[in-house]
Amino acid sequence: MDTSKLLLPEASPHVEIPTVETAGFTNENFTSDSNNIPNATPQGEAINSSTTPGADSDQDDNNPIEAPEPTTLPSPAPTDTPVPVPAEGRLGSIRHHFQIWNNCGPATLAMGLSYFDVLLTQEQTASSLKPNPEDRNVSPDEMAAFVNQETDLLAFDRTNGNLHTLKRLITEGIPVIIELGIDPPGEYRWMGWYGHYLLVVAYDEASQKFWVYDSWFGTSEVPGENADAEGREIAYADLDRYWRQFNRDYIVLYHPDQKSTVNEIVGPDMDDMVMWQRSLERVKDELQTSPDDAFLWFNLGTVYNALGDHEKAALAFDQARSIGLPWRMLWYQFGPYEAYYEEGRYQDVILLAEVTLKDRPYFEESYYYKGLAEAALGNEKQAREDLEKAARFNPNFALAVSAVEQLDT
């Protein structure tokens, strides 16, 4: 058996729209000596307007990678002006759930479903999404798939969202969940940066604020309290700043008879290729003004993965790590694994996975990619051990189950 040919998942998975403390990872408030490894050293040429990976370059290797210049890529002609929204909008009749241990995704999904009187507990959503309570992450595509498979509602996940889209969805009675970074407030600040889900329930143009239902911190400004049934306030600018850390990922929940409305609101980004091309333009534009933002470089790597350019993706992830990312970053997003694997940088995959799993062996995705890399290096015994751990940790993780089956053939 050739263990170097295990299947790799499609880049940056998105649910098909239904018809009906590490290497370069830092944290100002939390450090762990066991997680400190050298920063990434870029493996190729800089990404900029005049250089493509593999081409000759006179750039000094000691200089940082330059922010790529914005490029014009094919995309549908934009509408002349955005569709206006009312001065305010709100979703009512939503049941708030405080998350149990490591249950942000399932709890937030249960809140969103309650708008449609689909009254599932977070334990019910978690039983499929994360059978192991120690699992730290549920991805947007998994949450959307749950809705499509387990309810009469529909859902899909997208990237490259914007505030106007959130407002329009709320106005039309369509719940939307966003994935973003957070710096925990108050007594939780010592914990440092986390990835999190929020259900956006209202907005107000005059005050430039959204209201959100938060499974961790509740619906008030005091963490852990539900003092305000309207939700916790967050300024437009603050929400977008933290949302950008996850490339503005969002999940739309809707009734089948709302399909045409949803399609019109999301617009060109309903098409995967158009969405990723538009996201590429946007990230490049943002890097022009924020070239030292590690999250933007990470977003650039994610987009290049999705577009199939793993060489550029790997360089972008190298730059993100060199600048410094929160040490929990690979709990939630796995683009560096994919890019480095495709570029044959198997030891980098293994190193990042080992650091992520050290002291916290709770990430099936890290075991999975480590198993792929070990297999590519011919280490069949270790590959099997890693892949079997991934499959045992989450028996619903089909990629790991399939990879184990390949080892047995």
DSSP code at position 244: G
CA–CA dist 221, 232 (Å, integer): 6
φ, ψ at 246 (rounded to 5°): -120, 30
Task: List Cβ neighbours of 114 (8 Å cut-off, separation of 6 or more).
Answer: 93, 94, 95
- On the question of pLDDT at 52 being above 50, the answer is no
In angstroms, the CA 315 to CA 309 distance is 10
- Whether residue 1 is predicted with pLDDT greater than 80 in this model: the reply is no
How do beta strands 194-204 and 209-213 pair?
antiparallel
Q: Which two tokens stand for residue 106?
A: 């399932």
Residue 394, both tokens: 């989450």
CA triple 370-375-380, angle to 5 deg: 110
Helix/strand/coil for 37: strand
**Separation between Cα atoms, residue 36 and residue 337, nearest integer Å:** 18
Q: Which helix (H) or strand (E) holds 181?
A: strand 176-182
Calculate mean pLDDT across residues 198-227.
Answer: 86
CATH ID of 95-270, from 3.40.605.10, 3.40.50.300, 1.10.760.10, 3.90.70.10:
3.90.70.10
pLDDT band for 65, please (50, 70, 90 cuts). Answer: low
* Helix (H), strand (E) at residue 281: helix 272-289
What DSSP letter does each residue of 117-173 carry, written as one string? Answer: T----HHHHHHHH-SSTT-----HHHHHHHHHHHSSSEEEEESS--HHHHHHHHHTT
The arithmetic mean of pLDDT across residues 174-181, rounded, is 98
More confident residue, 409 or 32: 409
Structural contact between residues 127 and 242, judged by C-beta atoms closer than 8 angstroms: no
Residue with tokens 């408030």: 29
Domain spanning 3-55+309-407: which superfamily? Tetratricopeptide repeat domain (1.25.40.10)
C-alpha 110/C-alpha 90 separation (Å) is 18
Distance between CA atoms of 317 and 235, rounded to whole angstroms?
30
Could you tell me where in the chain the CATH 1.25.40.10 domains are found?
3-55+309-407
| Contact indicator for 347, 93 with CB cutoff of 8 Å | no
Q: State both tokens at 157.
A: 């996940």
Distance CA 398, CA 311 (A): 27
Phi, psi angles (nearest 5°) of residue 234: -150, 130
The average confidence (pLDDT) of the chain is 84
> CA 85 to CA 170: how far, in whole Å?
10
Per-residue pLDDT, 267? 97
**Domain limits, CATH 3.90.70.10, in the chain:** 95-270
User: Residues 279-321: pLDDT tens digits?
Assistant: 999 999 999 999 999 999 999 999 999 999 999 999 999 999 9
- Paired strand residues for 212: 200, 232
Q: Are 231 and 202 in contact, with CB atoms under 8 Å apart?
A: yes
From 82-91, 139-148, 291-300, 387-396, the region with the lowest mean pLDDT: 387-396
* Helices and strands in the chain: count of H runs, count of E runs: 14, 7
